[in-house]
Chains A and B, each alone.
Chain A
Amino acid sequence: MSDALDQEDWSKPAAMAIPEGGYFKEKVEQGRYGPVFPKSPACYGFTIIAKIIPGREEVFYEYGRTLERAVAGQPDCLAILELHYLRWVLFPIKGETYFMYQGIFDTDFDKYTEDAVSLFTKLGIRTVFENLEGFPTDWQTNAPAFIKFVRDHQCPSFLEYGEYPYVSADEIKKALKLKAAFSSMLDQMQ
């Protein structure tokens, strides 16, 4: 549920400073698996950072190629996650490799993770999370454990900005379709 709608005005760029911990203490919304990180001008999202199991770097690069092929073969395969953008990053800290998974989406955090578990299972994709230290091995049958891992490794933003704040990916796609339809209509009137 989002109660941020009242201040939503896509035409006015907006920034939101977020308190330490990721929640506004006076306005914490409860979700099914715990408090929900607030919707910001950059919509819902997460930044998950975890250490990878040493020596598994190549698995991540291979996973990148696999997911590229999956999306090319079925462009709407991730549609249920209601995404804007995803970024997968590997980076070193003191000789060890860490993984950052950053997403911006329009559904809430718990629904995203629950849908992702189901999606990975259905597509037969092993999640790259299996190569992270501490990831539950029974994730395919234990969505709550997957969600707990993701929550435990979430690093909430302290500031988020949107040039066209709060607008969902669906609304953006609708606007682009409308523009295309108008262009086509104008072409017909020449």
Chain B
Amino acid sequence: MLEFEDIQHILLTRAPALTGRYEFLSFRNAAGGRAWLSAILETVQSAAAMQASVDQNKRWVTVAFTWNGLRALGVDEASLATFPEEFRQGMVARAEMLGDTGENHPDNWVDGLASPDLHAIAILFARDGTERQRCQAEHAKLVAQCAGVELLSTLDLEATPPYDYAHDHFGYRDRLSQPVIDGTGEVPTPGSGAPLKPGEFILGYPDEAGPPANLPQPEILSRNGSYMAYRRLEEHVGRFRDFLRQHGQTPEEQELIAAKLMGRWRSGAPLVLAPDRDDPALGADPQRNNDFNYKQMDPHGYAVPLGSHMRRLNPRDTAANMNRRRLIRRGATYGPHLPEDAAEDGLERGIAAFIVCASLIRQFEFAQNVWVNDRTFHELGNERDPIIGTQDGTLEYKIPRRPIRKKIAGLPAFTTVRGGAYFFLPGIKALRYLATPSDARQG
């Protein structure tokens, strides 16, 4: 039985927000950090509380900590040592393995995200801009009241038009293939596979391999918690559109190229089910838009190229141990919308996302290292993920078709990593535990 009243809402639910803000914080002393946490945790909702009040609420708050942040809050060394190695090291130390090299290197990250002083994040999702402004002012007041708590940086989130469905700045429909957790009551859409054991995402529960093991101690700290890999990915929209125009003579051909990079049309319609022309009704229909496999329906990649983003991040029935590699994605777009007919304006825009999982090394890092950036994925040779892979202009992209495949040489980088971090997302009781000085804790 999942403890919905103790699990932070972001893990199980998605707020109906059109806007939001991330605030990155540093604690100069433990007392200040705990004072901040004590105050803000009154606004942090569990999954149960969020669902009970979603219609009345206008804002949803999540808090999470880096390993340095847990130490800054006063967590003792014995407990800190029980966290997994990759979390202790942090995303910056793992950069090379993650493919964060060249332009993506932490040396180039913005807003202090590569700094060891990054200790916590407060995630705000708000129903509208007015509510965001109100929350921003409230939080500024709180930070000012807590001696030793500093705001490192902030990022405002904005949905991109049209607002009637979630999509990124490139125009791809998002949130189409999310895993379902056993015990939530949620029913997987056709093609999404059976619900996964909760321990794949929430600490303290059985996972796909059996009972929970090797969890951070004490138990109150880890139970109902999770890990989040934060990625701030700039999307080079002008470069992406130029690429489509370069490789497609007509708007239809350009749409097909965009679809071949992703594996879906920008409407969300999967190429396996709509190989030749877009089918927006299919893309918008959750009962149909995820209902396909690769092994039987597209083994050679004639519909969905073997190296496309969708096929790499979820190889479905063509990879082993899929149930141990799944990821929950949360987050939003940031930066101004670039209208379709506008020239590149040089402003930063992109996706600021959290990848939620119970094991960063087995789930997030595996996906990033083996699926996104492995040049030999599916025996492709000289390719990486065309959307989020590390691209330096020397790699290619192959689109299978009869009689001869199309090979695009010198694929440009459509995205750049502008920052990232590993966060621990504690349960509600764990937040109270962290907010209490160790000598005042009971039990």
Interface centre among B97, B214, B366, B381, by most chain A C-beta atoms within 10 angstroms, is: B97
With a CB–CB cut-off of 8 A, which chain A residues contact B379?
168, 170-171, 174
Question: Would A118 and B320 be within 8 Å (CB), given that A5-B381, A32-B366 are in contact?
Answer: yes
Task: With CB as the reference atom, state the residue of chain A lying closest to B211.
Answer: A141
* B97-A32 in contact (CB<8A): yes
Expressed in whole angstroms, the Cα–Cα distance for A174 and B85 within the complex equals 40
* A141-B320 in contact (CB<8A): no
Expressed in whole angstroms, the Cα–Cα distance for A144 and B370 within the complex equals 17
Q: Is B86 engaged at the interface, CB distance under 8 Å to the other chain?
A: yes
Contact among B94, B321, B376 for A2, CB-based, below 8 A: B376
* A114-B362 in contact (CB<8A): yes
Q: Is A143 engaged at the interface, CB distance under 8 Å to the other chain?
A: yes
Expressed in whole angstroms, the Cα–Cα distance for A184 and B355 within the complex equals 49
Contact among B366, B375, B381 for A1, CB-based, below 8 A: B375
Interface centre among B209, B213, B374, B376, by most chain A C-beta atoms within 10 angstroms, is: B376
| A77: min CB distance to chain B, Å | 11
Within 8 A of A (CB), among B360-417: 361-362, 365-366, 369-370, 373-376, 379, 381-382
| A177: min CB distance to chain B, Å | 13
Q: Contact flags (1/0) for A28-51 with B, using CB distance below 8 Å?
A: 011111000000000000000000
Expressed in whole angstroms, the Cα–Cα distance for A30 and B99 within the complex equals 10
Expressed in whole angstroms, the Cα–Cα distance for A168 and B373 within the complex equals 18
Closest 9 CB pairs of A and B: A80-B320, A141-B213, A30-B97, A30-B96, A118-B321, A32-B365, A170-B379, A32-B361, A1-B374
Task: With CB as the reference atom, state the residue of chain A lying closest to B379.
Answer: A170
Within 8 A of A (CB), among B78-114: 84-86, 94, 96-97, 99
* A31-B375 in contact (CB<8A): no
Q: Is A66 engaged at the interface, CB distance under 8 Å to the other chain?
A: no
With a CB–CB cut-off of 8 A, which chain A residues contact B185?
none
Q: Contact flags (1/0) for B190-233 with A, using CB distance below 8 Å?
A: 00000000000000000001110110000000000000000000
Extra 6 A-B pairs, beta carbons < 8 Å, given A115-B320, A171-B379: A1-B375, A32-B365, A80-B320, A143-B362, A144-B361, A174-B379
How many chain A residues touch the partner (CB < 8 A)? 29
| B422: min CB distance to chain A, Å | 13
The contact size tier of chain B is 20 to 34
With a CB–CB cut-off of 8 A, which chain B residues contact A31?
97, 369
With a CB–CB cut-off of 8 A, which chain B residues contact A143?
362
Contact among B209, B321, B375, B382 for A115, CB-based, below 8 A: B321
Question: Would A1 and B99 be within 8 Å (CB), given that A32-B86, A115-B321, A118-B320 are in contact?
Answer: yes
Q: Is B326 engaged at the interface, CB distance under 8 Å to the other chain?
A: no
- Interface of B toward A, CB cutoff 8 Å: 84-86, 94, 96-97, 99, 209-211, 213-214, 320-321, 324, 361-362, 365-366, 369-370, 373-376, 379, 381-382
Q: Contact flags (1/0) for A137-153 with B, using CB distance below 8 Å?
A: 01011111000000000
Task: With CB as the reference atom, state the residue of chain A lying closest to B378.
Answer: A170
| A65: min CB distance to chain B, Å | 25
* A5-B382 in contact (CB<8A): yes
| B70: min CB distance to chain A, Å | 20
* A80-B211 in contact (CB<8A): no
With a CB–CB cut-off of 8 A, which chain B residues contact A3?
375
With a CB–CB cut-off of 8 A, which chain A residues contact B210?
121, 140-141
Interface centre among B85, B370, B374, by most chain A C-beta atoms within 10 angstroms, is: B370
| A4: min CB distance to chain B, Å | 9
* B369-A1 in contact (CB<8A): yes
Question: Would A144 and B85 be within 8 Å (CB), given that A115-B320, A118-B320 are in contact?
Answer: yes
Contact among B97, B209, B374, B376 for A141, CB-based, below 8 A: B209
Q: 15 A-B pairs, CB-CB below 8 angstroms?
A: A1-B373, A2-B375, A29-B96, A30-B94, A30-B96, A30-B97, A32-B86, A32-B365, A80-B320, A106-B376, A115-B321, A118-B209, A118-B320, A142-B214, A144-B85
Q: Is A84 engaged at the interface, CB distance under 8 Å to the other chain?
A: no
